[in-house]
Structure 1
């Protein structure tokens, strides 16, 4: 299998795995067979496995240089990934009726929206940040296609999910968004929401990514 063939197959598998299982008829059958938690676990493990394959396939694709590397480029992902880790830590396990995830969405309080006041799709925002920030230090064609596609996928998914959720929720979607936008900017960022623990988790996640980046991806994230 040539490098470009593997890369194309990995791309196709990744995007099919994210397009088909979330279609309402398919998802309903999978949830009925696996249960809600089983579906989430299986979907997450499949996504991680395919992502690992796709990243590896990008590194094995023929190297076609588009621009030269410079030390300043390393600071782009170093800065952006701190924000991405914060987005993930502040959103995981929180009610979010506007996106594809969230726990106990029926308990969502639009007067204390936390991060959702700023973005209805924090995990997709984190994915877009991760992808866009890794473009400058990776100046070859395969990685431009990889990270550029992920950034585009994340941004387009926000619009598609908004459209789907608005159709499903009807007037409740507009009511929740309006009330959420009227909430104070810091509403939901407090000890009751587990803010100190979540900030600590973001810092730990960031430190782990820095420490394990070379072992996982074969490249140091620090300026050389």
Structure 2
């Protein structure tokens, strides 16, 4: 569990600098230069991710069960992850209305992904991992929306065609991940 916590602190901490210390981040980036800043950021993020993944894998081998989620929450989790994949696609498909409305669909995708996994898993490692990501994503989303208002950021309204492509891509990715990749990469098949 220690490696999971250290990984979370490092990974989420690195990705939270803009929320809690934006001025320091700007000064450090100027002092180090953009390339060295990105290299340091990437190195710390990767180290945090590796520690987090390794620690989570270890914690899953000796689970501390806090509760047993009812079957209905697992079904809800499937719907929430579907929404998460559509939001993830919205972050990358240009000119879609979802991004025009939310402004930060990737962060919203992380929120729905974390909530889905938090609802459908009742052991301590899952609560730590997904609870941390849910709180972090919510804080990042709120901070990014405030920055948009402060900096008067405007997003295009998006088109129906781009939105349709976004939804289709998100659904296709969800199907591929849910039916095949989740079992292959994570070792758990959402549909049994």
1:123 aligns with 2:106: yes
Aligned residue-pair number = 184
Q: Is the 8 A contact 1:20 1:26 kept in 2?
A: no
Q: Is the 8 A contact 2:10 2:45 kept in 1?
A: no
- 1:19 is matched with 16
More helix by share: 2
1:23-172 equivalences under 5 Å are 23-28=25-30, 32-33=34-35, 39=38, 47=45, 50-51=48-49, 53-61=51-59, 62-92=62-92, 94=94, 114-167=97-150, 169=151, 172=152
Distance in 1 separating the partners of 2:163 and 2:64: 44
RMSD of aligned C-alpha atoms? Answer: 3.2
Aligned residue for 1:136, secondary structure, equals: helix
- What CA distance in whole angstroms lies between the structure 2 residues aligned with 1:209 and 1:47? 24
Q: 1:138 to 1:125 in 2, by over 3 A?
A: same
**In structure 1, the residue corresponding to 2:120 is in which secondary structure?**
coil
Unpaired stretches in structure 1, ≥5 consecutive residues: 96-112, 181-186
Which sections of structure 2, spanning at least 5 residues, go unmatched? none
Aligned to 1:205: 173
TM-score (norm 1): 0.67
Moved more, 79-88 or 200-209: 200-209
Match of 1:189 in 2: 159
The question of whether the paired residues in 2 share the 8 Å contact of 1:128 and 1:155 is answered with: yes
Tell me the distance in 1 between the aligned counterparts of 2:130 and 2:92: 23
Larger radius of gyration: 1
